Amino acid sequence: MSFADLTLERYSCRKYEKRAVESEKLDAILEAGRLAPTACNNHPVRVLPCTTPELLEKAAACQPRFARDGSIFGAPVVLLVCGVDEDAWVRPYDQMNAAPIDTAIVCDQMMMQATELGLGTCWVCHFKPEIAREQFDLPEGVYPYHMLTVGYAADTIASPERRAERTIAREDFLL
């Protein structure tokens, strides 16, 4: 599948089949994240794969609004994407820490790999980080930035017309 096709195929899946993701596919997704570029190759990103009922419940507790069937949107896999801020590159001019950007790149790369493998995903940022820190007993200095739900989609992508309505116009996108 070309990258252009991949970008058209990917959407935010919010309903999943009750079907496990094969370990080979999960390994490929995690490898795509591991290989993702980070600022100055500092690799401040850590990923916690939630695949057991206990871990999926903990993920769902971070945003009860999205809780379904013991997980977020009923996904059989939730990847908690965290950053170690002190390991990240810091821009010297304004002290901007690259950890949020690096974690986003890793999340995106895993999301696109999952799509290529025929899996649905949803990038979840609307959750309570302090609850995630508690639920997963994250070490000091490890901050939960994103969750990525992964599984076999039980919903479908919007029609091309509906997607076009929700996408920024090119003339608005370009400065």
- Under the phi-then-psi rule, with left for phi > 0, alpha for psi from -120 to 50, and beta for the rest, what region is 83? beta
Mean pLDDT of 112-130: 97
Counting residues of the chain whose pLDDT is more than 90, the rounded percentage is 89
pLDDT of residue 26: 98
3-class DSSP assignment, residue 107: helix
Average pLDDT, the chain: 96
pLDDT of residue 113: 98
pLDDT at residue 156 in the model: 84
Tokens of 97: 């820490």
From first CA to last CA, the distance across the chain in angstroms is 30
Q: How far is CA 95 from the centre of its chain?
A: 26
CATH assignment, 12-159 = 3.40.109.10
Q: 8: pLDDT confidence band, cut at 50, 70 and 90?
A: confident
Mean pLDDT confidence for 90-109: 98
Q: Which residues pair with 49 in a beta bridge?
A: 79
Mean pLDDT, range 135-157, rounded to an integer: 96
If you average pLDDT over residues 130-150, what whole number do you get? 97
At residue 4, what are phi and psi to the nearest 5 degrees?
Answer: -60, -45
| Encoded amino acid at 112, one letter | M
Q: Residue range 9-18: average pLDDT?
A: 94
What number is the average pLDDT over the span 66-88? 97
Helix (H) or strand (E) holding 98: none
Q: 29 near 35, Cβ under 8 Å?
A: no
Average pLDDT of 103-123?
A: 98
- pLDDT band with cut points at 50, 70 and 90 for residue 155: confident
Tens digits of residue pLDDT in 14-54: 999 999 999 999 999 999 999 999 999 999 999 999 999 99
Distances (CA, A) of 94 to 15, 39, 43, 97: 41, 15, 21, 9
Buried residues in 19-39 as b, exposed as e (16+ CB within 10 A): eebeeebbeebbebbeebebb
* pLDDT over 90 (residue 146): yes
